[in-house]
A and B are shown apart, each in its own frame.
Chain A
Amino acid sequence: MELQFIVLISGGEFLRFIISGIFAGIGFAISFVTCYFLVPIISNWMKKRNIVGIDVHKKDKPKIPERGGLSILISVLVAASILTIIYMFVDIILFSQLLVFLVSILLAGIIGYLDDAIDLGTLKPFLLILPCLPIIGGQFIFAQLFNPGTVNLLNIVGDPILPIFNPQPVIPLVGRFSIYTLYFVLVILVFPILCNGVNMLDVYNGSMSGTMSINFGVILIGAIFFVLFGLSSPVGILLSAIMFGSTLAFFRFNKYPARVFSGNVGSITIGAGMALIAMEGGVEAICLIVLVPYIINGFQMLASIGRLIEGKKIKARPVILLKDGRIKANPDPKAPLTLTRIVLAGGPMTEKEIVKSFLYLTFFCAILAIITAILCNPIFVL
Chain B
Amino acid sequence: MVNKKSLVILMGIITVIYFIIIAIVLLYFLYISQLVNPPGRVGPLWDLITSGVKLLIPGVSVLGWLYFWNLLIRMYFWRTVKTSNAGAEEEEEDTPEE
Q: Judging by beta carbons under 8 Å apart, are B30 and A345 in contact?
A: no
CB distance from B11 to the nearest CB of A (A): 5
Kindly list chain A residues whose C-beta atoms are within 8 Å of the C-beta of B7.
343, 357, 360-361
Taken residue by residue from 106 to 142, chain A's Cβ proximity to chain B (1 for < 8 Å, 0 otherwise) reads as 0000000000000000000000000000000000000
A312, A345, A360: the one within 8 Å of B80 (CB): A345
Contact at A343–B81, with CB atoms within 8 Å? no
Contact A382 B3 (CB under 8 A): no
Main secondary structure of the interface of A (DSSP, over half): mixed
| Chain B CB within 10 Å, residue with most, of A57, A299, A348 | A348
Complex contact A318–B6 (CB within 8 A)? no
The reply to whether B86 and A361 form a contact with Cβ atoms under 8 Å apart is no
Shortest distance between the CB of B64 and any CB in chain A (Å): 14
Among B7, B76, B96, B97, chain A packs the most CB atoms within 10 A around the CB of: B97
Q: Across the interface, which residues of A come within 8 angstroms of B3, CB to CB?
A: 343, 346-347, 349, 357
Contacts of B53-98 to chain A: CB distance below 8 A: 66, 69-70, 73-74, 76-77, 80-81, 84-86, 88-98
A16 CB contacts on chain B under 8 angstroms: none
Q: Establish whether residues B76 and A323, one from each chain, have CB atoms under 8 Å apart when the complex forms.
A: no
* Residues of A with C-beta under 8 A to B1: 349, 353
What's the minimum C-beta distance from B79 to chain A, rounded to whole angstroms? 8
Q: Say yes or no: A342 contacts B14, CB within 8 Å.
A: no
Among residues of A, the one whose C-beta sits closest to the C-beta of B33 is A177
Which residues of chain B have C-beta atoms less than 8 A from A347's C-beta?
Answer: 3, 84-86
Count the B residues whose beta carbon is within 8 Å of the partner chain — how many? 40
CA gap between A316 and B54 in the complex, in Å: 42
Minimum CB–CB distance for B73 against chain A, Å:
6
User: Does A252 have its Cβ within 8 Å of any Cβ on chain B?
Assistant: no
Whether, in the assembled complex, A38 has its beta carbon less than 8 Å from a beta carbon of chain B, the answer is: no
A369: nearest chain-B partner, CB-CB: B18
Interface residue ranges of B1-28 to A (CB < 8 Å)? 1-3, 5-7, 10-11, 14-15, 17-18, 22, 25-26
> Is A11 part of the contact surface with B, judged by Cβ < 8 Å?
no
Contact: B98 with A322, CB < 8 Å? Answer: no
A317 & B98 in contact (Cβ 8 Å cutoff): yes
Contact present for B70 and A361 (CB under 8 Å)? no
Interface residues on A, range: 35 or more
**Contact in complex: A361, B11 (CB < 8 Å):** yes
Tell yes or no: A221 within 8 A of B by CB: no
Chain A, range 147-193, C-beta contacts under 8 Å to B: 171-174, 177
The answer on a CB contact under 8 Å between A322 and B96 is: no
Q: Is A45 an interface residue (CB 8 A)?
A: no
Q: Are B14 and A319 in contact (CB under 8 A)?
A: no
In the docked arrangement, what's the CA distance between A304 and B42, Å?
46
Query: Does any Cβ of B come within 8 Å of A331's Cβ?
Result: yes
Interface membership of A268, Cβ < 8 A: no
A172 neighbours in B (Cβ, 8 Å): 22, 25
Cβ-closest chain A residue relative to B26:
A173
Does A63 belong to the interface (CB within 8 Å)? no
Complex Cα spacing A364 to B66, Å: 21
- Which of B5, B26, B92 touches A174 (beta carbons < 8 Å)? B26
Q: Contact at A360–B29, with CB atoms within 8 Å?
A: no
Q: Within the assembled complex, what's the spacing in Å between the Cα atoms of A323 and B87?
A: 12
Binding site for A on B (CB under 8 A): 1-3, 5-7, 10-11, 14-15, 17-18, 22, 25-26, 29-30, 66, 69-70, 73-74, 76-77, 80-81, 84-86, 88-98
Report, nearest first, the 9 A-B pairs whose CB atoms are least far apart: A346-B3, A346-B6, A345-B80, A321-B93, A323-B91, A174-B29, A347-B84, A345-B77, A364-B11
